Amino acid sequence: MKPINFDLLPDRTLFAGKVTQQKLGRLGLYYGIFFLLACFILALCSSSQWHAFAMGIILPGGGFLAHASFANWQGLIHITLGIFAFGLFIGALVLWFATGNALAPVLSWFLSAVAATIMPHSTIINPLICGRFNVNATWLLPSSVALVLLCTLLLALLKQKHGAKLRLQANEYLSSAGANLASQFHSQDESIEFTLNDLKQMRFLLDRALQPLENFDGLEWIDQFQTSAVRYQLNFLGYALSMAQATHLSAFSGYLSEAQHNLILKQTDYRIWQYWQLENCWGNLQNSADPIARDNIMFTGFCATQIALFHAASGREDFCQPNSFSFNHPVGECFAYNQSLLIDKLHSGFKKSDFYLMACEPNWIYPLCNSIGSAAIKHHNPTLWQQHATDFTHHLEHEFIDLAGRFIPCRSSYTGLALPVFGGALPQALPCFFLNATLPTIALRQWLLLRPTLLKNNQLNRAAFWPIDTGNYGFSRAAAYAGLALAAKELGDNEVAKLCFEQLALENPSQEIAGVKHRENASVWAHCVEFLAKSCSKNSFQQLIGTPKKNKHPIISHVPYPDVLVAHASYQRNSLRAVFYNGTDAEKFVIHLANLLPHRAYLITGSTEQTIIANALGNATFRLLINGRTEILLKQKVTQ
């Protein structure tokens, strides 16, 4: 039996690595300087305006508290304004996270201090009167802030100590039970033929991919900054169809390759990437509209992987050609790229980043996005990936995995601050899927650490599955079930995958309309992830990323869609085997073949028996009656 390899969590007792510590230390130093400066102003200046400004620097909205009182309505107004200004700052922080607008928190803080300073006051209220107590509000604020910061520091130290214990416990669990559990993960003896129900689900994807390039019917336009963005729907539509081609339809191009090609070209539509100029302006203070030029792995890395999977699954190299992936701005600018240039941007982006991993929205770094982009590098240039693997691994381990062994959802490259772990199991599971192609020992370890939270009494622990669909922000666990099934299938954990599929069908039953199946309460993204999961088995993504250039062999090059649906197509042992279903009425359809030997005769057997002869280009056609499941076998005819 092949040995089970996974890494233990590296020894670490500090909450984060050196880069994070340096960033947080710098942030603390800057705030400390402003805090002390504000205290000097409070101590040395008697002007109420200067007091308001200093208190506004110490805390967002704090300037209004210089004139706060519970004794009269003017004082209550100041308290209300202070609370409002602080809430506005919290909203700016949310905007910063959601859209990369790094200016919003700074401006809201500074402008609230200025507003408190210039606000006219009929009287100066120094004591904060509450019942029988008179408190000097001027010094209450800095004292309270200092106390809160001290308590936060002490809490962080306690949490760090507890986290170190959790890390030891995690490694003990991995050492004692990890290998035995991982040995149970394997590829099921799954059919590499899609069922008719599978094909009806696949049509949900194909109908969106095969429409004219300028049309986006059936996709969800909610916002272009976060997880519902149309670009992610296009990415995962492409990922799913590439996986279907690689695992079930390797000898079929036709509408499947056309769909993948269209999805990549749709990414170049201005409506898809126009968001970047705004993000670049308020996040990087640059006005360039070029979505590839700098720190945008959520576009560059995702698209590069979409192209890599298309090339790997189809054997084509359409987007390796110069200017094959170009962005035309309405004002006339053109940003011309191809796959090699995308990989170059990922390569330089890793090298330039203090955290080694690249930012998505300006400043925010997501390990998931980087796990996707790194797969593209490995497929396009395995040697180049080896140059990055060691440093990428080190920074991922120390800066983006917490002491308990969980992925940190994202971290600020400017400040070192990180969002708390949220979103349930999905943000922990998806990196396992993509990392299995580049860092499989870490992917397996992270899945083993996550798995106990997913099960309760041999059933799914629904509490671990976020009740919000990340694809459209609706109240549904569809995306969570699909995403966990995807990671489970790639790692070979068929038990968890089966339970996820069953629960998905139970909570979000599918409906059929005109031969197309969909789940009413599930996002387009969730549909894509579900079909991606159904198309893969253990190490499918890993193998697809590692796929070398294919030798040409006979393929089905065209069938009419949706009249003919291809359930299986593969070339093995000098034979092309294919299975078809009729998507509309049963009748005889023309099937096109390519990559045959010119002028050679081929015998078709199965539901029909006929001989065809390839033309000078190696192409041929034949007519086939398709009524339900229809199987054929094509072999070169042996002449006596």
**Both tokens of residue 173?**
């669990």
**Both tokens of residue 123?**
């009287």
Per the CB < 8 A criterion, the answer to whether 297 and 342 are in contact is: no
**pLDDT at residue number 123:** 46
**pLDDT at residue number 45:** 87
CA distances from 246 to 197, 207, 264, 482 (A): 19, 20, 17, 20
Which residues, at least 6 apart from 617, have a Cβ–Cβ distance to it below 8 Å?
A: 598
**pLDDT at residue number 189:** 64
**pLDDT at residue number 421:** 87
Please tell me the distance from the alpha carbon of residue 637 to that of residue 640, in angstroms, as a whole number. Answer: 10
Please tell me the distance from the alpha carbon of residue 332 to that of residue 604, in angstroms, as a whole number. Answer: 53
Please tell me the distance from the alpha carbon of residue 263 to that of residue 213, in angstroms, as a whole number. Answer: 8
CA distances from 299 to 293, 345, 404, 527 (A): 11, 11, 30, 21
In the predicted model, residues of the chain with pLDDT beneath 70 are 1-3, 121-137, 189-190, 549, 551, 639-640
Please tell me the distance from the alpha carbon of residue 367 to that of residue 357, in angstroms, as a whole number. Answer: 7
Question: Angle between the 440-454 and 382-399 helix axes, to the nearest 10 degrees?
Answer: 40
**Both tokens of residue 60?**
């967002």
Q: Parse the chain into domains and list their residue ranges.
A: 18-154, 201-545, 555-636
Which residues, at least 6 apart from 155, have a Cβ–Cβ distance to it below 8 Å?
A: none
Say if pTM beats, i.e. exceeds, 0.85: yes
Q: Which amino acid is located at 55 in the chain?
A: M
Backbone phi, then psi, for 223, in 5-degree steps?
-150, 160
User: Distance between the two ends of the chain, CA-based, in angstroms?
Assistant: 46
Please tell me the distance from the alpha carbon of residue 511 to that of residue 493, in angstroms, as a whole number. Answer: 28
Q: Which strand (E) or helix (H) includes residue 490?
A: helix 478-491
CATH placement of domain 555-636: 2.60.40
Domain 201-545 falls in which CATH fold?
A: Glycosyltransferase (1.50.10)
Please tell me the distance from the alpha carbon of residue 471 to that of residue 524, in angstroms, as a whole number. Answer: 7
Please tell me the distance from the alpha carbon of residue 444 to that of residue 491, in angstroms, as a whole number. Answer: 7
Nearest alpha-carbon partner for 425 in 353, 500, 320: 500
**pLDDT at residue number 132:** 41
Q: Is 473 left (phi over 0), alpha (psi -120 to 50) or beta?
A: left
Q: For the chain, what is the radius of gyration of the CA atoms?
A: 29
**pLDDT at residue number 188:** 73
Cβ count within 10 A of residue 457: 6
